[in-house]
Structure 1
Amino acid sequence: MAFTIQTYVFALLFLVGFLLSVWAFADAVRRPAVGFTNAEKRTKPFWVAIIAAGVFFGYLAIPPVSIFGFVIGFGLPLLFGLIAVLPGAIYLADVKPEVIRFSPRRPGPSGSSGRW
């Protein structure tokens, strides 16, 4: 019984890490490339590639659990899951704010920047 609860807790934690990486990947893809170079945070293809690798290994690190008859995850060692979350977390905490700051603003419908 305890092993099953522990497996589901680990699966939930790794699923949260995986979703964090997916969120970072989706955000990095939609940001303009000029924002990355203006912020001096490497290039957009670099961040997209490294976060994509994090998403891939993050999915593989989810422990195999059966939910509604479907088995998700492959169960790579714990260290893979921890390392897989790092690129997404670094992007969201450090790179994204700077990219937003240095990205060109799009004017709104009335010519304003969309800010209040």
Structure 2
Amino acid sequence: MTGLIQYYVFIALFLVGFALEVWALADALRRPAGAYVTAEKRTKQFWIAILAAGALFGYLSVPRFAIFGVAFGFGLPLLIGLIAVLPAAIYLADVKPEVIRFTPRRPGTGSGPTGRW
């Protein structure tokens, strides 16, 4: 019984890691390429490639599990899944805040002194 609980907690952690990777990739896709260069954080193509590879390996490393008889996951070695989260974590913690600072805002989208009240 304890092993089954650990197994499902493990699957949940890998699914959370995969969601984090997809979130980082989606965010990197929507930022303008010039903001990466201005922020001195490599290029947009570099981050897209790294994050896409991380998301692919993160997806492939989710352990096999079944819901209602339908099998999910491929189950690559688990260390690959842990390493696949690193680019997303680096992007979200270091690159994204700097790129946001140099992303031009559209007029009228904010509220406060820089946008409409």
Q: TM-score, normalised by structure 2?
A: 0.89
- C-alpha distance after superposition, 1:59-109 (max 9, x if no partner): 111100001222111111121011000111110000000000012222117
Give the corresponding residue for 1:45.
Answer: 45
Amino acid aligned to 1:20 = L
The aligned amino acid for 1:53 is A
Q: For residue 85 of structure 1, give the secondary structure of its aligned residue in structure 2.
A: helix
- 1:99 matched to 2:95: no
Alpha-carbon distance between aligned partners in 1 of 2:23 and 2:5, rounded to the nearest angstrom: 27
Pairs within 5 Å for 1:25-104: 25-104=25-104
When residues 66 and 37 of structure 1 are mapped into structure 2, their CA distance, relative to the original with a 3 A threshold, is: same
User: Which blocks of at least 5 consecutive residues in structure 2 are unaligned?
Assistant: none
CA contact (8 A) 1:7 1:65 kept: no
Shift of 1:113: 4.4
1:71 aligns to what SS in structure 2? strand
Q: Specify the code of the residue in structure 1 equivalent to 2:26.
A: A
Instruction: Report the counterpart of residue 3 of structure 2 in structure 1.
Output: 3
CA distance in 2, matches of 1:63, 1:22: 17
Is the CA contact 1:61–1:78 (under 8 Å) kept in the aligned structure 2?
Answer: yes
Q: Are the aligned partners of 1:63 and 1:73 in contact in 2 as well (CA < 8 Å)? A: yes
User: Sequence identity of aligned pairs in percent?
Assistant: 70
1:40, 1:87 → 2: CA distance?
17
Secondary structure of 1:106's match? coil
Which fold has the larger relative contact order, with Cα–Cα distance below 8 Å and residues 6 or more apart in sequence?
1
1:45 partner letter: Q
The equivalent of 1:114 in structure 2 is 115
TM-score of the superposition, structure 1-length normalised? 0.90
